[in-house]
Amino acid sequence: MPENALELEDLVMHFGPVRAVDGVSLQIRKGTVVALVGESGSGKSTVGRCIVRLLEPTGGTVRLADADITHLNRRRLRPHRRDVSIVFQDPAGSLDPRLSVGDIVGEPLRLMRRRGDLPAEQRDIPAAVADALRRVGLRPEVAQRSPHELSGGQRQRVSIARALISSPRLLVADEPTSALDVSVQASVLNLLADLQRDLGFACLFITHDLSAVEYLADEVAVMYLGQLVEQGPRERIFGVPAHPYTQALLSAAPVPDPTTQRARQPVLLGDDLPSAIDPPSGCRFHTRCPVAVDRCKTEVPISRVIGAGGHQVACHLVADDGTGPDVREQPVDRGVTA
Amino acid sequence: MAVADVTVQAGTPLSSRRRKVVRRLLRNPLAITGLAVLAIAVLAAVFAPWLAPHEPTQTNLGQAFAPPGTAGHLLGTDDLGRDVLSRIMFGLRASLHVGLLAVATSLAIGVPLGLMAGYFRAIDALISRFTDLVLAFPFLILAVGLAAIRGASLGNAAIAIGIAQIPGVIRIVRSETLRLKSLDFVAAAIVEGAGDPWVLGRHILPNAASVIIVQATVAIPAAILGEAVLSFLGLGIQPPAPSLGTMLSDAQQFASRAPWAAVMPGLAIMLLALAFNIVGDSLRDALDPKASRR
Amino acid sequence: MSTPVLRVRELSVTFRTEDGPLSAVDHVDLEVTDQEVLAIVGESGCGKSVTAMSLAGLLPRTATVEGSVELDGVELIGADKRTLRSIRGREIAYIFQEPMTSLNPVFTVGTQIGEVLRIHNGMSRSAARKRAVELLKVVGIPSAERRVDDYPHQLSGGMRQRVMIAMAVACDPKVLIADEPTTALDVTIQAGILDVLRGLRERLGTSIVLITHDLGVVADLADRVAVMYAGRVVETAEVHDLFAQPQHPYTAGLLGASPAAGRHAGTHRLNEIPGLVPVLAEQPDACTFADRCPRALDTCTAKQPLLDQGDHQVACWNPVREPVEV
């Protein structure tokens, strides 16, 4: 069993002039949960789609359990399909409204049967489907239902059942709880945590919700405008975030406790978002960074290991031992709200 | 909007989508009327040989120009004493025959082309140019050409009309395919390892079906009208076999003497086309999952 | 106790749907005092959006609205079109969730803000434009003199939402209804919008009714909170009280469901609320949360609990009395 479930090396994805992903390198060790965090336009969803080969990367490498799948054609990709699965954000759109839940969850197995790599213990597809449904907390009778009869939370469970039925090495979860209510999010997050612990798959958890990240992730990678600005173990990213953007992100996420929240001063970055077609020169974050210096406008920062324990950051102002600016203590940029 | 997205509980009775559609359809009085008219027309056409009071080609010069209400001729007779009602019934037969054949042709060719155009970007350019070509080609020239090569007949009229309808079908199926292709459940299938034929056949086509059905119900009356035009011009069904179109064209000459000979088939065409259109519209509304508010 | 600017009494909304009647809001009482931010919190199907829309008279014709909504003494339910038109925009303003679709793409933002001013205050075009620039500054848009001539598509989502807020406060309304104003925005942009909203209360003295499902936003902005479930208000309290000691089991459940700092899956488990929000044709004389409630008693299914009196009100037969552990 290879050490890394996934390796991304300098992944690049351009859509014509839009440079959605511009050099992302990341490893996911088997059995770990890595959260890929970013706001809209960061490119995190695109990374997810490259990994499952819904897109063919423009450059760089995607290695799934030691197999280079970056430019394989459809036919050669087939044997690798069972190693990776994806769960999407929209519970309504990710299930075919014309099929029954049983057909939907069983589809990966039927495809495997056609390819000839259906394991013996899953030959009885309806039974395997019933097992998968039970594992995600749904009664097997749900197999007879149509997606539109289910609630959002139930549909996400069906999505998860479908994704895990082929026993993948890696699960890509693209904003799996963003479209759900708070209490339903809780049950899906609990489910993902339980399943991950029991089945041992690696997981790329793509999200913008930092509190969910803190709950679920072992490691965190932060993206901004197509590039990784910081990555490392969860405790370090949340405890001692080094990159100004990570710090701003953490400070902006409101905490559900009025006393704490009202004592905080969020870092305000300004609404002028740069475009992926013509990204800023040098460090892409410099146009909104409260502590940017001249060097940041001209020189692209390289991702370096800082401090201890696999913590990497791409910022000129952070020293090798991890010391650097903390924009949360800076006088807040009040120029934005005149 | 919180209310419209209200989700159904797992415990509510299984209300299958089909049943819901039928329920919605039957709740609409206009739809019911349309369906009733279609039912009558189809029955009349199918059982014409048994139901018609007279032979449609039976001439009876003694009874020529009999007005509606004359004994034995509910809708009157034409210049040759032929019973208008019987001719309409057989004419309906011909019209429906053409309508169905034309639409079947256009679907058989248009649906696969539309699916491929929407799904494969490389082929899209090619198919779209082909569609433009057919659209640019004058329909009547096509019909005349076909008649010249293969002889004027009902079947050839149907083919000509079918070909003329292909671009419309392609366009609709293509846009629906494009829309469906971008949905997550298609992406999910691809990630599972589904090949293009699997995705097209199992996911895209069934979901495009409702759009295709609605298109068909609206295309049939267009085809019937097209047949009326072609037969009017002598390119369709050949006399003495009746078609609603030929009845109209024949009645031109003696319209003043026996207006019913033109009005009746005209009304029949109109009612048939109207019924199909109404049912098609109602079906489209009934199939639309978002239209659940009155 | 100052007189409320907005007083809602026994508000009930029922929808006529294909599958029969749907009770969306049931006898809701709310009060907003001067310069106060009242947050209405709940998940999908709780009726918070419908309540907000009924305050602004924006419900479709399929809705039957009963009860009373008094804005500074003027009754809005059943008011004639003229009264409503003069009040909307001037006394009570509304901002929606999607800044993308709320702005007209073919007019500049200056024109759209100016439109509100000219309709309600009869300003001239030049005066309206000047005021529009001032308003853009109030909501924190840099280079306001230049941006006033921009079209909506030239602005980012966060900026568009600021423009919406500018339009809403143009005529200095007493109450601003903000329906999920930051849900569609990124978190760093959301921080800016919350800052603007906070500023409104301080600078213009506007009261805000904030509809949201995000407890963090509530903690940040609200003075008082009303928690809704299945069309009813189940708890109302001052914000610190609500978070420190939620009394209704649903509120406690919601707070327990949010992942919080320092809680990781290895050692903690998020609180789940089993079951689903009910979809009710008619509101029963019972507690509608009972079937999902860990503290349910027999009385809960026999009789509807009503909100009690006082600063911290709860509608429950068996409320939680111990403070939440942090």
In the prediction, which pLDDT does B279 show? 87
Exposure of A132 in the CB half-sphere (CA atoms within 13 A): 29
Domain membership of residue B196 (yes or no) is: yes
Model confidence pLDDT, tens digit, residues B233-242: 777 777 778 8
The mean pLDDT of chain C is 89
Calculate how close chain B gets to A7, using CA atoms only, in Å: 18
Identify the DSSP state of B200: I
In the prediction, which pLDDT does C103 show? 87
Across residues B56-77, what is the average pLDDT?
A: 82
Domain membership of residue B69 (yes or no) is: no
Beta bridge partners of residue A203, listed in sequence order: A33, A171
Evaluate if residue B10 carries a pLDDT over 50: no
Across residues C77-102, what is the average pLDDT?
A: 82
In the prediction, which pLDDT does B16 show? 60
Domain membership of residue B30 (yes or no) is: yes
**Cα–Cα distance, C173 to C136 (Å, whole number):** 16
**More confident: B254 or A157:** A157
Across residues B201-213, what is the average pLDDT?
A: 91
From B6, which residue of chain C is nearest by alpha-carbon distance?
C45
In the prediction, which pLDDT does B241 show? 82
Touching partners of A (3+ C-beta pairs < 8 Å): B, C
Count the residues in chain A. Answer: 338
Q: How confident is the model at residue A174 (pLDDT cuts 50, 70, 90)?
A: very high
> Inter-chain contact C48–B2, Cβ cutoff 8 Å?
yes
In the prediction, which pLDDT does C232 show? 94
Quote the number of domains for chain B.
Answer: 1
Across residues B134-151, what is the average pLDDT?
A: 82
Report the predicted TM-score, pTM, of the whole model to 2 decimal places. 0.87
In the prediction, which pLDDT does C151 show? 92
Lowest mean pLDDT among A222-231, B94-103, B241-250: B241-250
Across residues A305-310, what is the average pLDDT?
A: 84
Q: Which residues of A touch B206 (CB under 8 A)?
A: 98
Count the residues in chain C. Answer: 326
Chain B interface includes C129 (CB < 8 A):
no
Domain membership of residue B212 (yes or no) is: yes
> Inter-chain contact B192–A152, Cβ cutoff 8 Å?
no
Q: C284: buried, middle or exposed (CB in 10 Å: 19+, 13-18, 0-12)?
A: middle
At A228, phi and psi to the nearest 5? -85, 130
Selected residue of A84, A107, A206 to mutate for chain B interface (largest B Cβ count, 10 A): A107
Q: Which residues of A touch B189 (CB under 8 A)?
A: 96, 107
Q: Which residues of A touch B184 (CB under 8 A)?
A: 88-90, 93-94
Q: For position B27, which CATH number holds? A: 1.10.3720.10
**Cα–Cα distance, B183 to A93 (Å, whole number):** 6
Residues 6+ apart with CB under 8 A from A263: none
Evaluate if residue C158 carries a pLDDT over 50: yes
Domain membership of residue B145 (yes or no) is: yes
In the prediction, which pLDDT does B289 show? 56
Selected residue of B184, B190, B207, B290 to mutate for chain A interface (largest A Cβ count, 10 A): B184
From A185, which residue of chain C is nearest by alpha-carbon distance?
C257
In the prediction, which pLDDT does C116 show? 84
CB neighbours (10 Å) of residue A110?
16
Biggest CA-to-CA distance, chain B: 77
In the prediction, which pLDDT does B2 show? 27
> Inter-chain contact B6–C278, Cβ cutoff 8 Å?
no
Evaluate if residue B14 carries a pLDDT over 60: no
Q: Name the packing angle between helices B154-181 and B139-150 (round to 10°).
A: 130
Lowest mean pLDDT among A316-325, C189-198, C256-265: C256-265
In the prediction, which pLDDT does B17 show? 63
Domain membership of residue B64 (yes or no) is: no
Calculate how close chain C gets to B177, using CA atoms only, in Å: 26
Q: How confident is the model at residue A194 (pLDDT cuts 50, 70, 90)?
A: very high
> Inter-chain contact C50–B3, Cβ cutoff 8 Å?
yes
What single-letter amino acid sits at B92? Answer: L
Residues 6+ apart with CB under 8 A from C308: C314, C315
> Inter-chain contact C44–B294, Cβ cutoff 8 Å?
no
Evaluate if residue A1 carries a pLDDT over 80: no
In the prediction, which pLDDT does B189 show? 96
Q: CA separation (Å) from B30 to A50, B271, C60, C250? A: 51, 13, 25, 47
Q: Which residues of B touch A54 (CB under 8 A)?
A: 187, 190-191
Touching partners of B (3+ C-beta pairs < 8 Å): A, C
Residue C40's SS3 state is strand
**Cα–Cα distance, B172 to A216 (Å, whole number):** 45
Contacts 24+ apart (CB under 8 A), A322-330: A322/A240, A322/A242, A324/A242, A325/A244, A325/A291, A326/A247, A327/A244, A327/A247, A327/A248, A327/A251, A327/A267, A327/A289, A327/A290, A327/A291, A328/A247, A328/A248, A328/A250, A328/A251, A328/A265, A328/A267, A330/A267, A330/A290, A330/A291
> Inter-chain contact A268–C158, Cβ cutoff 8 Å?
no
Evaluate if residue B291 carries a pLDDT over 50: no
Touching partners of C (3+ C-beta pairs < 8 Å): A, B
Question: A–B: how many Cβ contacts below 8 A?
Answer: 79
Selecting from C186, C239, C257 the residue whose C-beta is nearest the C-beta of A40 gives: C186
Evaluate if residue A145 carries a pLDDT over 60: yes
Selecting from A90, A115, A145 the residue whose C-beta is nearest the C-beta of B184 gives: A90
The token pair at B11 is 């415990």
Cis omega before residue A2 (within 30°)? no
Q: C124: buried, middle or exposed (CB in 10 Å: 19+, 13-18, 0-12)?
A: exposed
Calculate how close chain C gets to A156, using CA atoms only, in Å: 14
Range of the domain at B289: 20-51+74-293
Lowest mean pLDDT among A49-63, B94-108, C83-97: C83-97
Identify the DSSP state of C26: E
Domain membership of residue B256 (yes or no) is: yes
In the prediction, which pLDDT does B6 show? 28
Domain membership of residue B8 (yes or no) is: no
Q: Which residue has the tokens 């990497």?
A: A312
Residues 6+ apart with CB under 8 A from B20: none
Selected residue of C13, C18, C40, C183 to mutate for chain B interface (largest B Cβ count, 10 A): C18
Across residues C183-193, what is the average pLDDT?
A: 89
In the prediction, which pLDDT does A337 show? 38
Q: Which residues of A touch B183 (CB under 8 A)?
A: 93
Model confidence pLDDT, tens digit, residues B80-118: 888 888 888 888 888 888 889 999 999 999 999 999 999
Q: CA separation (Å) from B49 to A233, B39, B71, B90, B153? A: 84, 17, 20, 8, 21
Lowest mean pLDDT among B3-17, B95-109, C150-164: B3-17
Across residues A157-178, what is the average pLDDT?
A: 95
